[in-house]
Amino acid sequence: GPAAARLCSGQAEAAGGDGAMLRHLARKLRASGPVTVAEYMREALTNPGQGYYTRRGGVGESGDFITSPEISQVFGELIGIWYISEWMAMGKPSTFQLVELGPGRGTLTEDILRVFKQLASVLSKCDVSVHLVEVSPKLSEIQAVMLTGGKVQPNPEDESAYMKGISKTGIPIFWYRDIQDVPPGYSFYLAHEFFDALPIHKFQRTEKGWREVLVDIDPEVPDQLRFVLSPSRTPATQNFIQPEETRDHVEVCPEAGVIVQRLASRIEKDGGAALVADYGHDGTKTDTFRGFRNHKLHDVLSAPGTADLTADVDFSYLRKMAQGKTATLGPIKQREFLKNMGIDLRLQVLLQNSGDTATREQLLHSYDMLMNPEKMGDCFNFFALLPHHRLVHPDKKDKPESKSPLPPVAGFNELLLK
């Protein structure tokens, strides 16, 4: 998903690119009428020939957005500690699948694996494996180089993975196109800036009730796109607007809902937890659909396929879609989560251990980027799905005094390191 670019909300950039995607969309719209924002997003981002992700896979300083793991290894280390702390709280199960959705360049995975290596003595009796859910062939190649040094085997037999390898630290890694292909089992899931790039539907309240916002060709200006309202209700307006909705404009990401349902079912059945970190809100924001190009805001309808399109994650919707199968925690601001995870102490240690001024400046800059409320500290949130028994003893009502208290969940409370 897109990231820190969103901090500098400068002026939207003018159009560019070769216009092939725009011409393709214009033909389609002229032939069969307006499309939903979700269809527009899907086309602009993942069209096999012209889609933004398909063409580039631009993550990091050189691409159109920077993500937290690219900014700082501390971020990934603390997330690694969160998983180990939860694994310990759940009684150190003998297997541990780390499942990451949309792992980007693999930077975050690498930082987490570094922690697992440093804490190898703690994990010694545990069978640890990594499972990456990645649709982009380009990105999976980059991940393979970063995590295994490029030593991977494509299309392994009798496995649902399309590629496998062994991390530089000796942990098996598997790649899949879909979360449903990941084998069942005790798993910790990670979705860092994953949900914000999934296609959204947009809805507007009118005197005649809810209408869906669609993308159409502008009749006045050749090859220019514009937003229009659906003349009547669409299937999506009936399916995705909650009756108790108070906002006048709402964005819904059905795909995110489906994935959360799957995560919740898997956690309920096999145990584990899911950690979601993303730009988002708790059902309060309305229009968050944005485009980014070269780290600058870019008009969402101009030069489709040349900019990254994104929308804030509605955590209230994710909570609803867990359907009570799991407990949920958060959203909590990134700044609070990282503070609870002990980022201040970790920063002090790294500063003391770094010999040169340049490294120290880089560390302080990273810390500021992650924690400053004006930067990523406040707009970025953490949200978790956990089994109900992780928060409440199943037989609490019988004899509460005989049960030891459950350890608090790190990050959402202060981390109590024994």
What confidence tens digit (pLDDT) does each residue in 22-73 have?
999 999 999 999 999 999 999 999 888 888 877 765 544 344 445 555 557 8
Pairing of strands 187-192, 95-101: parallel
SS (H, E, C) 166-201: ECCCCCEEEEECCHHHCCCCCEEEEEECCHHHCCCE
pLDDT score of 404 more than 70: yes
pLDDT tens digits, one per residue of 120-130: 999 999 999 99
CATH number of the domain to which 98 belongs: 3.40.50.150
pLDDT tens digits, one per residue of 73-123: 889 999 999 999 999 999 999 999 999 999 999 999 999 999 999 999 999
Looking at the structure of the chain, the number of domains it has is: 1
Is residue 152, in this structure, part of any structural domain at all?
yes
Supply the pLDDT for residue 158.
79
Supply the pLDDT for residue 66.
54
Q: Which of 215, 366, 274, 223 is nearest to 83 (CA)?
A: 274
Is residue 219, in this structure, part of any structural domain at all?
no
Residue 70 CA to residue 298 CA, distance in Å, equals 22
Q: Which domain does 128 fall in, by range?
A: 46-184+263-274+334-390
Supply the pLDDT for residue 7.
44
* 8, two tokens: 């500098």
Is residue 349, in this structure, part of any structural domain at all?
yes
Instruction: Quote the mean pLDDT of the chain.
Output: 89
Is residue 237, in this structure, part of any structural domain at all?
no
Supply the pLDDT for residue 48.
84
Is residue 250, in this structure, part of any structural domain at all?
no
pLDDT score of 4 more than 90: no
Pick from 52-61, 161-170, 234-243, 342-351: least confident: 52-61
Is residue 403, in this structure, part of any structural domain at all?
no
Is residue 146, in this structure, part of any structural domain at all?
yes
Contacts with 245 (C-beta within 8 Å, 6 or more apart), sequence order: none
Supply the pLDDT for residue 251.
98
**Positive or negative torsion for Cα 189, 192, 194, 200:** positive
Is residue 248, in this structure, part of any structural domain at all?
no
Instruction: Please identify which residue in the block is written with the tokens 């609803």.
Output: 320
Average pLDDT, stretch 245-252? Answer: 97
pTM of the model: 0.90
